[in-house]
Chain A
Amino acid sequence: NAGVTQTPKFQVLKTGQSMTLQCAQDMNHEYMSWYRQDPGMGLRLIHYSVGAGITDQGEVPNGYNVSRSTTEDFPLRLLSAAPSQTSVYFCASSAGVPGNTIYFGEGSWLTVV
């Protein structure tokens, strides 16, 4: 069972570079989201989507773009990487109803130098 798959697992970027973190799920979940996790701050919601073609901002959306062209995929784009975006990024998916189990990927470690 693949569940939620994130790639890459590790990435080093230079300031100003752009990149895309990939997220795919094989559970036919409508709801997908991206979080970043920083020491002492828990997980903070970046963007989320309640279905293909629908996205919305979370708590910390600045500097990130998302799109949802298919149910399975929800890529996160860093437009011009900054050192403040050094973090661990988690993608998550669920059936979309509050209280349903939310499944997380294993995380992507991003360092911006």
Chain B
Amino acid sequence: TQLLEQSPQFLSIQEGENLTVYCNSSSVFSSLQWYRQEPGEGPVLLVTVVTGGEVKKLKRLTFQFGDARKDSSLHITAAQPGDTGLYLCAGFLSGGYNKLIFGAGTRLAVHP
């Protein structure tokens, strides 16, 4: 059982559509991060959220940290083919801040 549950596991959409990826846990995290990974490469950090209820925007990407710091979401507006990739959420557990735990990832394909 994953400590961080991501959904959906796969997402295939057309260019211009909106989408939301969810990251849920029963545990509290001191901070949560979202990464994007391209084939054959390591994950690259997109954003870090620290405060419960925090919302951060990165161009067409909106990240939200739940009030209780147990969940997070990534919303992409008007998806483009360049958004295609594996999106991973990862969190530092409260009190165990040296361990970064990852979710299983959401594989997104955006078709022209």
Q: Which residues of A contact B (CB under 8 A)?
A: 4, 31, 33, 35, 40-45, 48, 50, 56, 58-59, 90, 92, 96, 98-99, 101-102, 104-107
Among A4, A35, A90, A99, point to the contact of B48 (Cβ < 8 A): A99
Among A40, A59, A104, point to the contact of B43 (Cβ < 8 A): A104
Q: Is the Cβ of B104 less than 8 Å from the Cβ of A40?
A: yes
Among B41, B92, B98, B102, point to the contact of A42 (Cβ < 8 A): B102
For the A-B complex with A42-B6, A42-B105 known, give 16 more contacts whose Cβ atoms are closer than 8 Å.
A4-B42, A33-B100, A35-B102, A42-B2, A42-B4, A42-B88, A42-B103, A43-B88, A43-B102, A56-B98, A98-B31, A99-B31, A99-B92, A101-B45, A107-B40, A107-B42
Shortest Cβ distance from residue B97 to the other chain A in the assembled complex, whole angstroms: 4
Residue tally, chain B, CB below 8 Å to A: 27
Among A31, A44, A98, A106, point to the contact of B41 (Cβ < 8 A): A106
Separation of A92 and B31 alpha carbons in the complex (Å): 18
Separation of A56 and B44 alpha carbons in the complex (Å): 24
Which chain A residues lie closer than 8 Å to B90 at the CB level? 43
Separation of A101 and B42 alpha carbons in the complex (Å): 13
